[in-house]
Structure formats: C-alpha cells, structure tokens
C-alpha cells in the first residue's frame, strides 16, 4: 500500500520538539532531540540524527507518518524481551549502567569508539561478563568502526567472553563477507545494522552472504511494514533495535518486534533507561527484562518541560518541511 502523505500543515500543527538529557553520554551526544507528532492513530516520532541529510531523514518521516496515520500490523505477542545497552564507558561504570535495565539477561556493549583502544573494549566487555555471570548473553556493536584486520583481531581478543554475535564490525558489505568467512570456525555470528538501514539496497547484505542476522530499526527503514518486508525478503533472523528514541518511538519498535513471525533474539528496545528525561510519565523501561506491546502517549506537561529552544524548534520544522517535499516528489502521480 502506498503511503498517503498528510498535508505539511497538519504535521506541523501537532509537532512538539523536545530535547531530552541523557543519563550517560551516548553516540557522542548528551542531549537527544526529537519531534513528537500526533496523528489519527496516536502519537508518533520523527528523530533522525542531526547529521543525516534530507534524503535519509525523509525515510524516518515516512515511518513517523506510517505509525501515526495508519493502523499497524497485528501483534503476535504481548511483550518483548529486551537487552541492556552499555555505552562506551569505563569498565568501572558497567555495573551502574546494567542496574538500570531491570531483569535483562542480554547486554549489548558498544566497542570501537573513536579515541578508545581495544584494551578498553576488552576491559568493558569483561566487566559485563563479570556482572552478568556465565548465563548472561553478550553481544558487541562496533558501528562499522573496525577495518577487516582490526575486526578479526578484536573478535579473537573478545572470544573468551562467549559472544552471542558481533554487530556491524566493519563498514562495507565486502568486509563483512570476508570477516564472516575468516571467523566462521569460531561460531560467532555476524550481524548487519548500518549495512541494512543506511544502504540504498537493504537486501544487498543478505544476498552477499555477509551476515548471519539483521538488526532492523523501524524509523530508519521507513516504518513497521517496510521493515517486516525487508526481514521477510532477506530470509535471515532479525533483532529489532532502537535509535535512542523517546518512549513514543520505542513503542514503534516494539510494534515491529511484536509483528515479526519469529523473534529469536532479545531486542535493543530498552534504551529509555539511558535517558534522564522522557515524554511520558510512564517511560517504556524494562521490567523483568520485558517491554509491553502497545502505543505510548505523550504527556503535555513533559513536552513543555523538555521543549527545545525556539531556534531548534524552527530548525526541526524546516527539516520536516524539506523531508515532506522529498516524500512528495517520490510519491506516485
């Protein structure tokens, strides 16, 4: 079904721009900006990172419109198991981070942070293993930060931590395919994230045999329906993750996870625990390692409390207008 675009004036009429403080620095930022929009189906979110160009950000707007203006695919489950997310912090801070993720049996650990060493990564992952015990599941995410040889070396250095998988160790599909060949004997799967959500062809990584599983995110892929199509066409297991969304955006990701026919892995949707503020009085935080399936409404008082400055509000309104124009130009005539 073709996405029907609401008028730009309708989008801007309900748009509320917020700037949420983070409890821990993540992805190089201390504040997460987002736009909350209210459609006929409820609240939705538009929050591409500020460095993304209009073409890429327009896909995020399509997702926001799809979630706020259209009924979503039926849920196949009522709650979603989620993982803890450990930013690139010092090993001594790991226990404090994990304590925010109630009952999570899995942790995703950020590695390959610019300016940090492999020794720091190893110390961080070891600290997670020590905190979670032998039954805990650990996956690492390099966000494409290693070259091929660095990735192979790092996987060997981390192998004694019994990794569940390594997410986007290298940037290119060719590197991922070669790395997967090199480490296949170790039994450590390779997951693709940026090679799916930032690619012109999100299925290329699957066709190249460059990954064992996909990490999918609702906003960057254009919404729940499009993400479901990609997973189905790829024929690989999928993990649903977030992009440091507010609880409204996380509910979109939960909707995607709830609609997947198979859900083998815990999902990276517990990241509201990394925020020091949110847009709802009942944030979508893990309880017993689970998140409930269902929409989340925005609280007007919190939208006011965390309202972005006027210049940032104007910046986001102009961005919505440009992305709306991109979507309009691409719409069938």
pLDDT at 41: 98
Q: Is 152 annotated as a binding residue?
A: no
- The set of residues, in sequence order, having a beta carbon less than 8 Å from that of 77 and lying 6+ positions away, is 258, 263, 293
Give the least confident one: 24-28, 41-45, 121-125, 226-230.
Answer: 24-28
CATH fold group of domain 79-292:
TIM Barrel (3.20.20)
CB atoms within 10 A of CB 215: 25
Residue 278 confidence (pLDDT) above 90:
yes
Cross-strand pairs, 21: 31
Q: Is 213 helix (H, G, I), strand (E, B) or coil?
A: strand
Residue 196, Cα to own-chain centre: how many angstroms? 12
Structural domain boundaries of the chain?
A: 8-72+300-330, 79-292
Q: Is 271 helix (H, G, I), strand (E, B) or coil?
A: helix
Mean pLDDT of 75-93: 97
Q: Is 301 helix (H, G, I), strand (E, B) or coil?
A: helix
Give the model confidence (pLDDT) of 27-59 as tens digits: 778 999 999 999 999 999 999 999 999 999 999
Q: Is 77 helix (H, G, I), strand (E, B) or coil?
A: coil
CATH of 8-72+300-330, one of 3.30.390.10, 3.40.190.10, 3.40.50.300, 3.30.1360.10: 3.30.390.10
Give the model confidence (pLDDT) of 181-209 as tens digits: 999 999 999 999 999 988 889 999 999 99
Q: pLDDT exceeding 70 applies to what percent of the chain?
A: 99
pLDDT at 328: 96
The answer to whether 86 touches 94, Cβ cutoff 8 Å, is yes
Ramachandran angles phi, psi of 114, nearest 5°: -60, 135
Rounded distance, CA 231 to CA 123, Å?
34
Rounded distance, CA 208 to CA 205, Å?
5
Mean pLDDT of 134-142: 97
Q: Is 193 annotated as a binding residue?
A: yes
Q: Is 299 annotated as a binding residue?
A: no
Residue 69 confidence (pLDDT) above 70:
yes
pLDDT band at 332 (very low <50, low <70, confident <90, very high): confident
Rounded distance, CA 13 to CA 7, Å?
10
Residue 1 confidence (pLDDT) above 60:
no
pLDDT band at 333 (very low <50, low <70, confident <90, very high): low
pLDDT at 67: 98
The verdict on whether 110 is a catalytic residue reads yes
Residue 8 confidence (pLDDT) above 80:
yes
Rounded distance, CA 192 to CA 203, Å?
11
pLDDT band at 2 (very low <50, low <70, confident <90, very high): low
């Amino acid at each position: 079904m073709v996405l029907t675009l609401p008028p730009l004036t309708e989008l801007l009429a309900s748009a509320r721009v917020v700037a949420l403080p983070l409890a821990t620095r993540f992805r190089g930022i201390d504040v997460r900006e987002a736009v909350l929009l209210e459609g006929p189906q409820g609240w939705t979110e538009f929050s591409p990172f500020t460095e993304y160009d209009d073409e890429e950000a327009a896909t995020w707007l399509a997702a926001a419109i799809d979630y706020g203006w259209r009924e979503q695919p039926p849920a196949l489950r009522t709650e979603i198991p989620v993982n803890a997310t450990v930013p690139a912090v010092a090993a001594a801070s790991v226990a404090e981070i994990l304590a925010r993720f109630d009952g999570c049996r899995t942790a995703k650990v950020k590695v390959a942070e610019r300016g940090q060493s492999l020794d720091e990564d190893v110390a961080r992952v070891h600290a997670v293993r020590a905190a979670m015990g032998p039954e805990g599941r650990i996956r690492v995410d390099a966000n494409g930060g290693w070259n091929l040889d660095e990735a192979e070396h790092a996987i060997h250095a981390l192998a004694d931590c019994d990794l569940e998988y390594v997410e986007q160790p290298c940037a290119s599909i060719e590197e991922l395919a070669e790395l997967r060949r090199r480490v296949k004997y170790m039994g450590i799967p390779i997951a693709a994230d940026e090679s799916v959500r930032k690619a012109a062809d999100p299925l290329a990584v699957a066709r190249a045999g460059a990954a064992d599983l996909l990490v999918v995110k609702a906003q960057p892929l254009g919404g729940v329906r499009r993400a479901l199509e990609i997973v189905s066409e790829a024929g690989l297991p999928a993990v649903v993750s977030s992009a440091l969304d507010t609880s409204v955006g996380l509910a979109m990701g939960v909707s995607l996870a709830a609609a997947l026919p198979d859900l083998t892995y815990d999902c990276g949707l517990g990241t509201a625990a990394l925020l020091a503020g949110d847009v709802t009085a009942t944030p979508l935080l893990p309880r017993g390692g689970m998140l409930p399936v269902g929409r989340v409404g925005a609280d007007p008082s919190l939208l006011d409390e965390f309202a972005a400055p006027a210049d940032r509000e104007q910046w986001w309104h102009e961005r919505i207008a440009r992305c709306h124009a991109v979507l309009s130009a691409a719409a069938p005539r």
